[in-house]
Amino acid sequence: MKMAPDTGKPGRDRQTFAAAARFTGVVVSIALLVLVASLAWLSGCKSGTGAGSLAHCSALQRNMLAVGPPAILAIGGVWAFVRTYQVWRERGGWWIWQGAGWFLMVLMTVVLAMTVPAALL
């Protein structure tokens, strides 16, 4: 029985995983920072609580909350898919970057569904 030679690929896949995990962590951290900054900016214009509490805020403030973090996550997801193609061309562990891209895109959809109602007031 002939066995395939060891190409050292598991070590390279660990490096790819570490790079993808760092990238995903940085993108999520930046999106969270923008989300917190948007909420802090909105805190100055609220009057009361409830559904109409953001009605006194400007459209720019509401749109920053609704579009800022999802846009950052979408850009990160697209960049992860670009890295997927680049690593695939190098015959590396492309599926790791593809997983990071899909994670960022799903997270973008969740954040968008949570923040867009604030802009529709």
For residues 118 and 69, the answer to whether their CB atoms sit within 8 Å is no
Counting the structural domains of the chain, the total is 1
Residue 7 forms part of a structural domain:
no
* pLDDT tens by residue, 17-29: 999 999 999 999 9
Query: pTM here?
Result: 0.82
Query: Among 2-6, 61-65, 74-78, where is mean pLDDT lowest?
Result: 2-6
* pLDDT tens by residue, 73-118: 999 999 999 999 999 999 988 999 999 999 999 999 999 998 887 6
- Coil, strand or helix: which one is 51? coil
Residue 80's domain comprises: 23-42+52-119
Residue 111 forms part of a structural domain:
yes
pLDDT at residue 108, as a whole number: 96
Residue 76 forms part of a structural domain:
yes
Give the model's confidence band at 5: pLDDT under 50 very low, under 70 low, under 90 confident, else very high.
Answer: very low
Residue 102 forms part of a structural domain:
yes
Contacts within 8 Å (CB) and 24+ apart, 92-100: 92/12, 92/13, 92/16, 93/9, 93/12, 93/13, 93/16, 93/17, 96/13, 96/16, 96/17, 96/20, 97/16, 97/20, 99/20, 100/20, 100/21, 100/23, 100/24
